[in-house]
Amino acid sequence: MNPAPNLVLVGPMGAGKSSIGRRLAGRFGLDFVDADREIEARTGASIPTIFECEGEAGFRAREAATLADLLQREGVVIATGGGAVLDAGNRGRMRERGFVVHLQVSLARQLDRLARDRSRPLLAGDDREQVLRRLTEQRAPLYAEVADLCFDTDTLFPPQAAAQLTRLLEAQWTRPPRAGLQERIA
């Protein structure tokens, strides 16, 4: 068991990190942060705009800084961006400060879930299937490297996935009590 202060969700686009993460945070009484939304809030610009102005390298630098800040907290469910695992420093910080859950999803389900999504810069081209396949080949080993637990979301709606994942986490994640709770108990 990994007695980590935070729960970190990694996985590809369309795996359900944000929708499942919000539900897990509610079930465990934790705060929820979507790392991509946090980057947008800090910069005052959308992810596509950041990509357009700074390129992927600029976005990844912002992502690493934001993730480092978020992981210093305790009692947070963090939904990372799909590419957060590309940076070795991010992977190290996630392992050090989080119980990491790799949410898995098939290519067919990703295509279905992302069919109407036009907000993802890496999917701006014509052949989404080819892009998602390439990203999976590149990132799947990195997700596996950081994961304390793998969970398949392919056939589940977010409420079902959160319920099943809650049971698994209750059995496998030793979460330190929050500081405020410790003070009230003492």
Annotated binding site for Mg(2+): 18
Phi-psi region of 61 (alpha: psi -120 to 50; beta: other; left: phi over 0): alpha
State how far the alpha carbon of 23 is from the alpha carbons of 3, 124, 145, 146, in Å.
21, 29, 25, 22
- Which amino acids are annotated as binding site for ATP, given as ranges? 14-19, 120
**Would you list which residues are annotated within the binding site for substrate?**
36, 60, 82, 139
Whole-angstrom distance, CA of residue 117 vs CA of residue 87:
25
Give the SS3 label for residue 89. Answer: helix
Q: Give dist(CA 166, CA 164) in Å, integer.
A: 5
Residues belonging to the binding site are 14-19, 36, 60, 82, 120, 139
